[in-house]
Amino acid sequence: MCNYVSQNTFSEQVSTWKMKGFDIADMLVFLQNVGAVHFFCNYEESRGNYLVDADGNRMLDLYTQISSIPIGYNHPALLKVLSKPHNLSTFVNRPALGILPPENFPERLMETLVSVAPRGMSRVQTMACGSCSNENAFKSMFIWYKNKERGHNQPSQEEINSCMLNQGPGCPDLSILSFMGSFHGRTMGCLATTHSKSIHKLDVPSFDWPIAPFPKLRYPLEEFVRENSQEEARCLEEVEDLIVKWRQKGKTVAGIVTEPIQSEGGDNHASPDFFKKLRNIARKHGCAFHVDEVQTGCGPTGKFWAHEHWGLDDPADIVSFSKKMLTGGYFHKDEFMPYRIFNTWMGDPSKNIFLTEVLNVIKTERLLEEVSRSGKALLQGLYELQAQYPHLLSAARGVGTFCAINARDDATRDRLILKVRNKGIILGGCGEKSIRFRPALVFKEYHVHLFLNIFNDVLAEHK
Amino acid sequence: MCNYVSQNTFSEQVSTWKMKGFDIADMLVFLQNVGAVHFFCNYEESRGNYLVDADGNRMLDLYTQISSIPIGYNHPALLKVLSKPHNLSTFVNRPALGILPPENFPERLMETLVSVAPRGMSRVQTMACGSCSNENAFKSMFIWYKNKERGHNQPSQEEINSCMLNQGPGCPDLSILSFMGSFHGRTMGCLATTHSKSIHKLDVPSFDWPIAPFPKLRYPLEEFVRENSQEEARCLEEVEDLIVKWRQKGKTVAGIVTEPIQSEGGDNHASPDFFKKLRNIARKHGCAFHVDEVQTGCGPTGKFWAHEHWGLDDPADIVSFSKKMLTGGYFHKDEFMPYRIFNTWMGDPSKNIFLTEVLNVIKTERLLEEVSRSGKALLQGLYELQAQYPHLLSAARGVGTFCAINARDDATRDRLILKVRNKGIILGGCGEKSIRFRPALVFKEYHVHLFLNIFNDVLAEHK
């Protein structure tokens, strides 16, 4: 009954399509939604900061697969992994890590994730992607909160019975506080904390969880310290109000989740002071504090984790990651020990092998310093361009190469991105009208100038 | 601030641990929750149906990483993939598939997923794991339902605004009907449809969605046709009652999700007739019909998809997969076109390369026939053992090698699994007191007899 097409039939189908003049894009239209596809790529020919498309065009990539390529395309260190025979079985035999880990897995974790654990965290749980990392981090916070409330981890019979029916007290009415403008993923738990675009959320049932305003700061931050600090105080006050209100509603806030820089939502920054105070509010109200570093983690801000810029006295409780880290997962404090966090794969050790090399390259090539240097040049260049084209650009901002600038409006933003692409530069958008810069960590100062020159040309020509 | 341990420091740390006499398991205890770890494995030395542990013990594997190894360990066809230079860039450069697919991606989809699409489905969306597949399939059903209700896909301004706050009408109070005993994953949307063990659900907020009883059949099915058919009728009646009740509550059922065989929940079967009627109920009430083949898909029942055994007149709307398929994802009818289903990775093309080889091996080695043959021998052997040890075993059941048998109680089940493991056989449990058999598709009749002999010895010795 299943239409198990034989090799011949398949080749015939493709030949027929090709004879009819269909190209690869046409084929994909038959199989999938292609509304979001920009173009097809030749990953074999891509190198370093340059992505090559299916027609052989070589483009300087400042978007890097939505910020998920850490050290550029086809880095020799990564290719070498596949030439070592003892690595191959890890690719071919994907284990159920939670029950039957490979014998070298603890050492592999030490070499990779544990070696870059944020301060205060020595434990880590791997997951297959960013959404699963956040979903399971949320579950850890709920379980932690309930055990804290109980004073032990032995549920009552009523809890055991009711949870099987999705009902309280076993499935409690707890909540996660998130911020307007945030993005934490698109699975249903994550989506209840995502508020960047309506198109992500429309038509999907959600939870009645509190949503605080995220500071709307004026840039450059150092010129608007007083105004920004008032705006941050307003948002923090609202956070506390919401925690109290939701507790009164019977939907107590078990955890607060935030990005260090709201990335999908438009590269919205807040000050270290804001985050320190937010961390204190979480502690004061007994909520866990979860920093989502899926997009900011692994170096693009010039520190390995963006939240290292804050100088927290009391570390976060949970830090989740994915994208440039190649594997998803989250670090956590001891008391968030995930005794009941489990799934079949729990990550993918083949990604950890690549991560070993990525971390090694970051260290030996001093890429965090490189990022700081390139980032400084990039931000300086953006400042100059917005001064030169104030009718087109504003609000240049960033830390490391994790930069953004606003266009006049969304139509202008989209046109600028397209024009720049036609000149061999790949950029991405975020928020309402921002352009975001997400180059790989191997993006050097001369790439910055290459980009700035082309961007300048496009801006000069732009009507 | 991040404790970026230098290579030296790391080696010193490991040396210190080794000097202190810690073994690898001790190390992992420091880093992760290891409560569920059975033992550490040497995947390099594992071959075919045999898993080798870190001490060099070679074990016949009837559990295969929770049913996720399709053609055995280190299959030469899979190893060969990594020796072909043109494949390497796919492993090293993971694309954001939704926006920048590799040029060969449409052909790769045709060769793999589309070539095994269930009848009535030519479209497929890849995802990274089973939970993400089901989460996004649920979202597709909600979006489909709302568009059907609206008569178009243009949301109102009120819907757009309210969804950003997790509120209706933008986030509607729709539901998914699932069955008691089901397992559809552990992320929060999936978890609201999972009802196999309380430990999965406890302390995690959930949705008030309807849960129908799944038939509790008597085995062997062919001996209890009348009783079983009455039990199935009772459950179907309850399904319709719940659909009506939840509509009246204002939480209309947008979709029904079911496994073809409830796997984690205890290998609970229902007849083709039950599923055909369930499909009709879904259509009658305007609900989507989602078959979750994450554990049953890719051949273990002797057909490529377990639901092919039903002979549905009207195909399912959505069929999700993962595990043996190596990549997650779901097939869907045209009207479930996922225009708003998106994430960074949307799967992993390196898994599709392996899947090409897996499907080729299944075909050339006629593994579905092999599964039917081995499955028949396995089930026959289980019937004989339960006749011989009626105080220990009952309810042998299965399709293909996807078999199970009940032990007297959970303690007996756990002891039997442990004793068998000490004799070199890996089995898994499921449900309250079942042993489940999940060998790879290369499990042959002589492996069945090897297993049955050892199982017989253990049963004979069991007090």
Interface test with A, best of B194, B204, B207, B362 (most A CBs within 10 A): B204
The pLDDT tens digits of the residues spanning A274-294 come to 999 999 999 999 999 999 999
What residues in A contact B39, CB-CB < 8 Å?
100
Residue A178 and residue A291 in contact, taking contact as beta carbons nearer than 8 Å: no
Interface test with B, best of A187, A214, A296, A367 (most B CBs within 10 A): A187
Please state, in angstroms and rounded to a whole number, the distance separating the CA atoms of residues A194 and A210.
Answer: 11
Closest-CA distance of chain B to residue A154, Å: 11
Q: Judge whether A146 counts as a catalytic residue.
A: no
Q: A62: which DSSP letter?
A: S
Closest-CA distance of chain B to residue A362, Å: 11
pLDDT at res. B34: 66
pLDDT at res. B438: 98
**CA of A322: how far to CAs of A69, A214, A296, A347, in Å?**
11, 23, 10, 10
**CA of A218: how far to CAs of A197, A309, A394, A434, in Å?**
22, 19, 10, 14
What residues in A contact B188, CB-CB < 8 Å?
135, 138-139, 187-189, 192
Please state, in angstroms and rounded to a whole number, the distance separating the CA atoms of residues B452 and A31.
Answer: 44
Task: State whether A40 and B103 contact (CB < 8 Å).
Answer: yes
pLDDT at res. B37: 85
Active site residues of B: 183, 292, 323, 344
Residue of B nearest to A298 (CA): B2
Residue B430 has pLDDT above 70, yes or no: yes
Please state, in angstroms and rounded to a whole number, the distance separating the CA atoms of residues B195 and B202.
Answer: 11
What confidence tier does B23 reach under pLDDT thresholds 50, 70, 90?
Answer: low
Please state, in angstroms and rounded to a whole number, the distance separating the CA atoms of residues A14 and A283.
Answer: 60
**CA of A64: how far to CAs of A47, A48, A323, A393, in Å?**
12, 10, 10, 23
Please state, in angstroms and rounded to a whole number, the distance separating the CA atoms of residues B88 and A430.
Answer: 32
Please state, in angstroms and rounded to a whole number, the distance separating the CA atoms of residues A460 and B4.
Answer: 44
What residues in B contact A172, CB-CB < 8 Å?
203, 205
Q: Which residues lie closer than 8 Å to A275 by C-beta, 6 or more apart?
A: A258, A260, A307, A310, A312
Strand order in the sheet with B318-321: B123-127, B328-332, B318-321, B288-292, B253-258, B175-179, B211-212
Residues 206-235 of B with CB under 8 A from A: 206-209, 211
pLDDT at res. B337: 79
Number of H helices, E strands in chain A: 16, 14
pLDDT at res. A340: 87
Strand order in the sheet with A211-212: A123-127, A328-332, A318-321, A288-292, A253-258, A175-179, A211-212
* Position B233, amino acid: A
**Which of B13, B42, B124 lies at the smallest CB-CB distance from A32?**
B124
What confidence tier does B17 reach under pLDDT thresholds 50, 70, 90?
Answer: low
A77 touches chain B (CB under 8 A): no
**CA of B3: how far to CAs of A289, B14, B146, in Å?**
20, 16, 49
The pLDDT tens digits of the residues spanning A212-252 come to 999 999 999 999 999 999 999 999 999 999 999 999 999 99
Residue A6 has pLDDT above 70, yes or no: no
B393 touches chain A (CB under 8 A): no
Residue B432 and residue B423 in contact, taking contact as beta carbons nearer than 8 Å: no
Phi/psi class of residue A373: alpha, beta or left (left: φ > 0; alpha: ψ in -120 to 50)? Answer: alpha
Task: State whether B110 and A189 contact (CB < 8 Å).
Answer: no
For B170, other C-beta atoms within 10 Å of its C-beta total: 24
* Position A295, amino acid: Q
Question: B236 vs A154, which has greater pLDDT?
Answer: B236
Task: State whether B93 and A188 contact (CB < 8 Å).
Answer: no
Q: Which of A205, A144, A172 is nearest to A338 (CA)?
A: A144
Please state, in angstroms and rounded to a whole number, the distance separating the CA atoms of residues A104 and A95.
Answer: 13
**Which of A54, A166, A323 lies at the smallest CB-CB distance from B209?**
A166
Closest-CA distance of chain B to residue A384, Å: 31
Residue B398 and residue B383 in contact, taking contact as beta carbons nearer than 8 Å: no
Residue A366 has pLDDT above 60, yes or no: yes
Closest-CA distance of chain A to residue B405, Å: 22
First to last CA, chain A: 58
Please state, in angstroms and rounded to a whole number, the distance separating the CA atoms of residues A296 and A438.
Answer: 10
For residues B116-136, b (16+ Cβ closer than 10 Å) or e, as one string? Answer: bbbebbebbbbbbbbbbbbbb
What residues in A contact B308, CB-CB < 8 Å?
1-2
Closest-CA distance of chain B to residue A141, Å: 9
**Which of A32, A167, A340 lies at the smallest CB-CB distance from B199?**
A340
Q: Which residue has the tokens 């046709």?
A: B225
Residue of A nearest to B191 (CA): A166
Interface test with A, best of B67, B99, B138, B166 (most A CBs within 10 A): B166
Q: Which residue has the tokens 């989506």?
A: A191
Q: Any alpha helices (H) in A32-123, and if so which ranges?
A: 64-67, 76-81, 85-92, 105-111
The pLDDT tens digits of the residues spanning A429-440 come to 999 999 999 999
Query: Region B146-164: what's the mean pLDDT?
Result: 95
Phi/psi class of residue B72: alpha, beta or left (left: φ > 0; alpha: ψ in -120 to 50)? Answer: left
Looking only at the bridges linking them, the beta strands covering A425-426 and B211-212 are unpaired
Residues 277-296 of A with CB under 8 A from B: none
Please state, in angstroms and rounded to a whole number, the distance separating the CA atoms of residues A460 and A419.
Answer: 12
**CA of B393: how far to CAs of A187, B390, B404, B459, in Å?**
41, 5, 10, 9
The pLDDT tens digits of the residues spanning B186-229 come to 999 999 999 999 999 999 999 999 999 999 999 999 999 999 99
**CA of A409: how far to CAs of A391, A412, B201, B315, in Å?**
10, 5, 45, 46
The pLDDT tens digits of the residues spanning B42-77 come to 999 999 999 999 999 999 999 999 999 999 999 999
Task: State whether A65 and B323 contact (CB < 8 Å).
Answer: no
Whole-number average pLDDT of chain A: 93
Number of H helices, E strands in chain B: 16, 14
**H or E, element range at A418:** helix A410-422
Residue B6 has pLDDT above 80, yes or no: no
For residues A44-57, b (16+ Cβ closer than 10 Å) or e, as one string? Answer: bbbebbbbbbbeee
pLDDT at res. B4: 42
> Of the residues A183, A274, A336, A455, which is catalytic?
A183
Q: CA angle at residue B333 from B331 to B337, to 5 degrees?
A: 85
Residues 145-164 of A with CB under 8 A from B: 145-147, 155, 159-161, 163-164
What confidence tier does A26 reach under pLDDT thresholds 50, 70, 90?
Answer: low
Please state, in angstroms and rounded to a whole number, the distance separating the CA atoms of residues A24 and A424.
Answer: 22
* Bridge partners (DSSP) listed for residue A123: A332
What confidence tier does B9 reach under pLDDT thresholds 50, 70, 90?
Answer: very low
**Which of A32, A102, A339 lies at the smallest CB-CB distance from B123?**
A32
What confidence tier does A34 reach under pLDDT thresholds 50, 70, 90?
Answer: low
Please state, in angstroms and rounded to a whole number, the distance separating the CA atoms of residues B307 and B261.
Answer: 9
Please state, in angstroms and rounded to a whole number, the distance separating the CA atoms of residues B459 and B388.
Answer: 9
Task: State whether B119 and A42 contact (CB < 8 Å).
Answer: no
Q: Judge whether A18 counts as a catalytic residue.
A: no
pLDDT at res. B38: 86
Query: Region B257-282: what's the mean pLDDT?
Result: 98
> Between A and B, how many residue pairs show a Cβ–Cβ distance under 8 A?
445
What is the token pair recorded at A52? 């090559």
B135 touches chain A (CB under 8 A): yes
- Whether the full predicted model's pTM is greater than 0.90, yes or no, is yes
Task: State whether A66 and B99 contact (CB < 8 Å).
Answer: yes
What confidence tier does B21 reach under pLDDT thresholds 50, 70, 90?
Answer: low
Q: Which residues lie closer than 8 Å to A206 by C-beta, 6 or more apart?
A: A188, A191, A192, B163, B166, B167, B171
Please state, in angstroms and rounded to a whole number, the distance separating the CA atoms of residues A308 and B109.
Answer: 42
Residue A13 has pLDDT above 70, yes or no: no
pLDDT at res. B92: 97
What confidence tier does A2 reach under pLDDT thresholds 50, 70, 90?
Answer: very low
What residues in A contact B350, CB-CB < 8 Å?
91
Question: B292 vs B11, which has greater pLDDT?
Answer: B292
Question: A328 vs B35, which has greater pLDDT?
Answer: A328
Whole-number average pLDDT of chain B: 93
B446 touches chain A (CB under 8 A): no
Task: State whether A93 and B74 contact (CB < 8 Å).
Answer: yes
Q: Which of A230, A348, A346, A367 is nearest to A299 (CA)?
A: A367
The pLDDT tens digits of the residues spanning A139-181 come to 999 999 999 999 988 999 999 999 999 999 999 999 999 999 9
* Position A43, amino acid: Y
B447 touches chain A (CB under 8 A): no
Q: Which of A384, A402, A361, A341 is nearest to A132 (CA)?
A: A341
A439 touches chain B (CB under 8 A): no
What residues in A contact B75, CB-CB < 8 Å?
92
What confidence tier does A30 reach under pLDDT thresholds 50, 70, 90?
Answer: low
Axis-axis angle for helices B445-461, B367-388 (nearest 10): 20
Q: Which of A292, A343, A294, A346 is nearest to A317 (CA)?
A: A292
> Of the residues A64, A289, A323, A331, which is catalytic?
A323
B42 touches chain A (CB under 8 A): yes
What residues in B contact A88, CB-CB < 8 Å?
79, 82
pLDDT at res. B13: 56
> Of the residues A344, A409, A410, A457, which is catalytic?
A344
pLDDT at res. B340: 87
Task: State whether A68 and B94 contact (CB < 8 Å).
Answer: yes
For residue B418, how many C-alpha atoms fall within 13 Å in the half-sphere facing its CB?
Answer: 8
Residue of B nearest to A144 (CA): B203
A68 touches chain B (CB under 8 A): yes
Residue A209 and residue B156 in contact, taking contact as beta carbons nearer than 8 Å: no
